Amino acid sequence: MGSLNRRDMLQLSAACGLGAAIGEASVSGPAIAAGSADESVKPKQTPITTRMFWTWDHSTEWALNRLGAHTHGSCNEYGRSTQSFLDDYTALLRWCGRHDVDAVVVWGLLRDSHGGLESAKRLCDVAAEENVRLLCGVGLNAYGGVYYEGDSPYNLERHLQASPELYAVDAEGNSTNFSIDAVGNRVRLSNTSTPGPRGFYHACPSRPENQEFVAESLEWLFKNLQLGGVQIETGDTGVCQCSLCRDRRKHPADSFSWEDMALMYPLAADAVRSISPDAWILCETYSHPEPYIGPKAAPGFGDGKAAWADESLEKFPREVFVQWVADRYLRQGDPDRVWTDKGRVSGKGLRHVMRAHVGTDWGWGAFRGEVALEWIAKMVQQSVSSGFEGIALFGEVSPFHTGAELNYLALSDFGSSSNPGSDPELFVERVAAPLLGGLANASDFVRFAGLMDSRFPEKRKEIPAAITSICTRLPSLPPDAARRWCWLANKLASFAYV
Ligand SMILES: [Zn+2]
């Protein structure tokens, strides 16, 4: 795709002025090269240039009325069929192709239980047809490695089982591996336990054998699949505290380590680029860019940026995407967690992506399929003014569910040339109204959806009246709009049902 992604090309061809409409949102991201033979047509620069979905295979459910999807969590077993896996992601990739979403991250892309390499190849073909980048989620010291689950030499657990001295250990030299039981407690696993049900296994990043395994696995991945790129992580479920790791690190690390990222991301990027120079490489930070102000010695997942993070960011490979987490600074209303000017990100050869867990069951008061326009707008506005060029949301829920559909369309619209200021009202007027029976109906839809917000439980008293109001308007609506309203009525009813 070169330096112009598909959205840029569409906007270049649309060729309408933007600058004056941007308002307070500063323009960020890399300059877009002039792409038109007509010099009078100025290339357009939009506040957001890159849009992505983030998914786990086991929770992605775009092919409807099939068995086995999870509605929550990571590292679950896969419960659907190979055909469902293919159908789920084919539908998702085709939607992205039609709605200007540039890339889809798949965690669990390679599993024996949904067809391994052959299924992944078929999805790479669909992605190519749609001009969407398929990105494989790859844990470097955790999360299964390149081949997430199965009998492959590039599966991290197989690698560690064969050489148990390469496992990560805690400060006492014990295993850091664990599984999660039925009520959510961590259960420690011995180093030699057999995987399945899925456990969390960790490798020591200081061991050269593990570093070589990462490089070799990534080279194999890109030799065998026409991927658009990778999202890489070093792991946020515990770090190795062996003497090699302790001697190497200058700073504290608890659930994840900035210094481990600085060690592993460059060698992973080198391996990927040795085979696929144009691959997108998305490096997770587990952090918000606002400087962290205690009380923990090392900030945890979703907390602000560690004081020593910039040192590590300097060592990240150039031209990668650096991915950050918005949630704790987005919707909790915590006075100690405010995104200020100190939370700006620096270009310096890095491209920045903000993601949030809105519309999922991943905590922070959200639920799967909620209508989260307000939060997505705030996230995009703050990201643009803080130097970001990319936005990522979870994409596991089918847009048949209207809450997810509206969120996804907002991802497509906010920060674009049509809505550079990410104005939710403009979105409702232009994008939601035609889907929901006109502007007045669309405004009511968003207001009624807000009655489910867990932060304001008293609002749920208004749900019965809202359902009555929905029922009275259904006969006058076109069928597709009525279907969307039925989704809302039923969703609201589920909160009032005893
Ligand atoms: Zn170690």
Number of domains within the chain: 2
Within-domain flag for 171: yes
CB 145 within 8 A of CB 156: yes
Buried b (16+ CB within 10 A) or exposed e, 28-62: bbeebeeeeeeeeeeebbbbbbbbbbbbbbbbbbb
**DSSP characters for 404-446?**
HHHHHHHHHHTTSSSSTT--HHHHIIIIIHHHHTSHHHHHHHH
β 186-188/178-180 pair status: antiparallel
> Do 57 and 68 belong together in one domain?
yes
What rounded mean pLDDT belongs to the chain?
Answer: 89
> Do 232 and 319 belong together in one domain?
yes
> Do 414 and 469 belong together in one domain?
no
> Do 417 and 430 belong together in one domain?
no
Within-domain flag for 428: yes
In the reported structure, the alpha carbon of residue 156 is separated from the centroid of ligand 1 by a whole-number distance in angstroms of 15
> Do 391 and 471 belong together in one domain?
no
Task: Report CA dihedral (252, 255, 258, 259) to the nearest 10 degrees.
Answer: 60
In the reported structure, the alpha carbon of residue 168 is separated from the centroid of ligand 1 by a whole-number distance in angstroms of 5
In the reported structure, the alpha carbon of residue 189 is separated from the centroid of ligand 1 by a whole-number distance in angstroms of 18
> Do 331 and 432 belong together in one domain?
no
- Cα distances (angstroms) measured from residue 142 to each of 56, 236, 461: 15, 8, 45
Within-domain flag for 6: no
Looking at residue 355, which CATH number applies to its domain? Answer: 3.20.20.80
In the reported structure, the alpha carbon of residue 203 is separated from the centroid of ligand 1 by a whole-number distance in angstroms of 8
In the reported structure, the alpha carbon of residue 128 is separated from the centroid of ligand 1 by a whole-number distance in angstroms of 39
pTM higher than 0.75, yes or no?
yes
Instruction: In whole angstroms, give the CA distance from residue 163 to residue 95.
Output: 43
The end-to-end CA distance of the chain, in Å, is: 52
In the reported structure, the alpha carbon of residue 186 is separated from the centroid of ligand 1 by a whole-number distance in angstroms of 21
**Residue 29: which pLDDT band, with cuts at 50, 70 and 90?**
very low
Residue 4 clears pLDDT 80, i.e. is over it: no
| SS3 (DSSP) at 467 | helix
> Do 385 and 433 belong together in one domain?
no
Instruction: In whole angstroms, give the CA distance from residue 496 to residue 299.
Output: 39
Least Cα distance to 199 among 186, 212, 210 occurs for 186
> Do 267 and 338 belong together in one domain?
yes
- Out of 382, 399, 422, a domain closes at 422
Tokens linked to 407: 């969120």
In the reported structure, the alpha carbon of residue 169 is separated from the centroid of ligand 1 by a whole-number distance in angstroms of 7
- Out of 422, 448, 475, a domain closes at 422
> Do 368 and 461 belong together in one domain?
no
Sign for the CA dihedral angle at 405, 407, 412, 417 comes to positive
pLDDT score recorded for residue 360: 87
- Out of 396, 422, 448, a domain closes at 422
Within-domain flag for 7: no
In the reported structure, the alpha carbon of residue 253 is separated from the centroid of ligand 1 by a whole-number distance in angstroms of 12
> Do 473 and 397 belong together in one domain?
no
β 229-233/186-188 pair status: unpaired
> Do 394 and 454 belong together in one domain?
no
CB 159 within 8 A of CB 204: no
In the reported structure, the alpha carbon of residue 460 is separated from the centroid of ligand 1 by a whole-number distance in angstroms of 50
In the reported structure, the alpha carbon of residue 300 is separated from the centroid of ligand 1 by a whole-number distance in angstroms of 19
In this predicted model, which residue has the larger pLDDT, 36 or 431?
Answer: 431
Q: What's the pLDDT tens digit per position in 241-266?
A: 999 999 999 999 999 999 999 999 99
In the reported structure, the alpha carbon of residue 255 is separated from the centroid of ligand 1 by a whole-number distance in angstroms of 14
Q: At 323, give phi and psi (nearest 5°).
A: -105, 135
In the reported structure, the alpha carbon of residue 238 is separated from the centroid of ligand 1 by a whole-number distance in angstroms of 11
Within-domain flag for 18: no
Within-domain flag for 484: yes
In the reported structure, the alpha carbon of residue 109 is separated from the centroid of ligand 1 by a whole-number distance in angstroms of 27
> Do 171 and 320 belong together in one domain?
yes
Sign for the CA dihedral angle at 218, 221, 227, 233 comes to negative
The residue behind tokens 């609506």 is 477
In the reported structure, the alpha carbon of residue 178 is separated from the centroid of ligand 1 by a whole-number distance in angstroms of 17
Within-domain flag for 121: yes
CB atoms within 10 A of CB 70: 19
Within-domain flag for 142: yes
* Residues bordering ligand 1, an ion, CB closer than 5 Å: 204, 206, 240, 242, 244-245
Residue 169 clears pLDDT 80, i.e. is over it: yes
Instruction: In whole angstroms, give the CA distance from residue 60 to residue 396.
Output: 4
| SS3 (DSSP) at 107 | strand
Residue 198 clears pLDDT 80, i.e. is over it: no
In the reported structure, the alpha carbon of residue 243 is separated from the centroid of ligand 1 by a whole-number distance in angstroms of 7
Q: Give the whole-number percent of the chain exceeding pLDDT 90.
A: 77
Q: Which of these ranges, 67-71, 87-91, 196-200, 445-449, has the smallest mean pLDDT?
A: 196-200
In the reported structure, the alpha carbon of residue 167 is separated from the centroid of ligand 1 by a whole-number distance in angstroms of 8
β 229-233/280-284 pair status: parallel
The domain in which residue 371 lies consists of 46-422
Residue 335 clears pLDDT 80, i.e. is over it: yes
Q: Identify residue 49 by its one-letter amino acid code.
A: T
Least Cα distance to 268 among 255, 281, 252 occurs for 281
